[in-house]
Amino acid sequence: MTTSRIINFNPGPAALPLPVLEEIREELLNYKGAGMSILEMSHRAKEFEAILNDAIARTRRLLALDERFHVVFLQGGATLQFSMVPMNFLADNRSADYVNTGTWSTNAIKEARVLGKPIRVAASSEESRFTRIPHPIAFSPDAVYAHITSNNTIRGTQYASVPDTGGVPLVADMSSDIMSRPFDPGPFGLIYAGAQKNIGPAGVTLVIVREDLLARVPDNLPVMLKYTTYTAKNSLYNTPPCFAIYTVQLVLKWIEEAVGGLAKMDAVNRRKAGLLYSRIDGSGGFYRGTAEAGSRSLMNVTFRLPSEELEKRFIEEAARTGFGGLKGHRSVGGCRASIYNAVPLEGVQALADFMGEFARRNG
């Protein structure tokens, strides 16, 4: 870590691994002897095709995906997926279940309803101001799919394990915790993740879709809104976000080769989260976590201080000390440390130390 770089706790676009940034810098003007930058290269070039296929292969290995799953790269962020999912899978007026755990799942529900799709909110934690993950959840056995948001960046909650849908395919927005821990992909019909929080820069969305769900895609959708368009053309129907995919490929290589895979990534992430939650819980009430203990996120640690004035001072002093991105989301206020994969353990330790010192001076 160079002295001019902050410790980046931004919620998205978020930190990228320093070795990845250094490799991008090294290759920016002349990618592997091609005589041009990735930014200038045709998406039909053999060099980019190799990048794309490597990103797909690494996704398959890291997530242990079998041959039923397609891996594609789209644009439009997770927000476009809020409408694409019901457009593709609810064509015959059958219903889907949604679990509402905060802003992003609320928006997914709204988009499905804008399209006039019949959906059911199977569970919600709105009554507790989204401070927890609902449990138990009574999914309908007749639902075409069950939609969840696996990690909630604004409220700082996360599913500790994959919920049991009784065989109904899960559809998950994993934008903020994809590639942070191992999980069984078997129950999932579709996973989508905007890259800019945990696996890359803004501009590309990773979509993993199971073959059996593709049979539901109607013919009368616009071509760019059908999943089959992307699976049939290996994400190359039109010009994809090449540079963003290249960066995702480098991040996946870093996770697989430098970190050693998702089990080791998960262990590091749990250590990082433990440092901050221990500091919060051991502060004698000076810091107050906003998520219930059993629902706490390993990616986004949200907390409040005794007053908004102290929160403002905390964020300002933290910024002067070299910690960036600690202001909570504008809809809820408070403070938030987003400790995605690329945020180093020593950076989180430094923040925990700063929090302890700030509490001693201001408590």
Q: Do the beta carbons of residue 210 and residue 189 sit within 8 Å?
A: yes
- What number is the average pLDDT over the span 274-287? 98
Residue that terminates a domain, selected from 213, 232, 258: 258
Spot the catalytic one: 97, 177, 197, 226.
Answer: 197
Shared domain check, 278 and 305: yes
pLDDT digits (tens, 9 = 90+) for 286-310: 999 999 999 999 999 999 999 999 9
Is residue 137 included in any domain, yes or no?
yes
pLDDT digits (tens, 9 = 90+) for 112-146: 999 999 999 999 999 999 999 999 999 999 999 99
CATH number at residue 92: 3.40.640.10
Confidence band of 363 (pLDDT split at 50, 70, 90)? confident
Shared domain check, 191 and 279: no
How much is the pLDDT for 93?
81
Average pLDDT, the chain: 97
Confidence band of 3 (pLDDT split at 50, 70, 90)? low
Shared domain check, 333 and 357: yes
% residues pLDDT > 70 (the chain): 99
pLDDT digits (tens, 9 = 90+) for 79-108: 999 999 999 999 888 999 999 999 999 999
How much is the pLDDT for 67?
97
Shared domain check, 76 and 225: yes
Is residue 13 included in any domain, yes or no?
no
For the stretch 309-317, contacts whose Cβ atoms lie closer than 8 Å and that sit 24 or more positions apart, written own/partner, are 310/362, 311/335, 313/362, 314/358, 317/358
How many independent structural domains does the chain possess? Answer: 2
How much is the pLDDT for 203?
97
pLDDT digits (tens, 9 = 90+) for 54-88: 999 999 999 999 999 999 999 999 999 999 999 99
Shared domain check, 172 and 266: no
Is residue 9 included in any domain, yes or no?
no
Is residue 8 included in any domain, yes or no?
no
Is residue 308 included in any domain, yes or no?
yes
Shared domain check, 325 and 177: no
In the annotation, is 327 catalytic?
no
In the annotation, is 219 catalytic?
no
pLDDT digits (tens, 9 = 90+) for 302-350: 999 999 999 999 999 999 999 999 999 999 999 999 999 999 999 999 9
Residue that terminates a domain, selected from 237, 258, 279: 258
CATH number at residue 279: 3.90.1150.10
Confidence band of 1 (pLDDT split at 50, 70, 90)? very low
Shared domain check, 216 and 148: yes
Spot the catalytic one: 97, 117, 173, 226.
Answer: 173
User: pTM to 2 decimals?
Assistant: 0.97
Residue that terminates a domain, selected from 208, 229, 258: 258
Is residue 10 included in any domain, yes or no?
no
In the annotation, is 266 catalytic?
no
Is residue 310 included in any domain, yes or no?
yes
Shared domain check, 335 and 224: no
Spot the catalytic one: 104, 226, 254, 266.
Answer: 104
Shared domain check, 162 and 36: yes
Domain that holds residue 119: 21-258
Q: Do the beta carbons of residue 38 and residue 246 sit within 8 Å?
A: yes
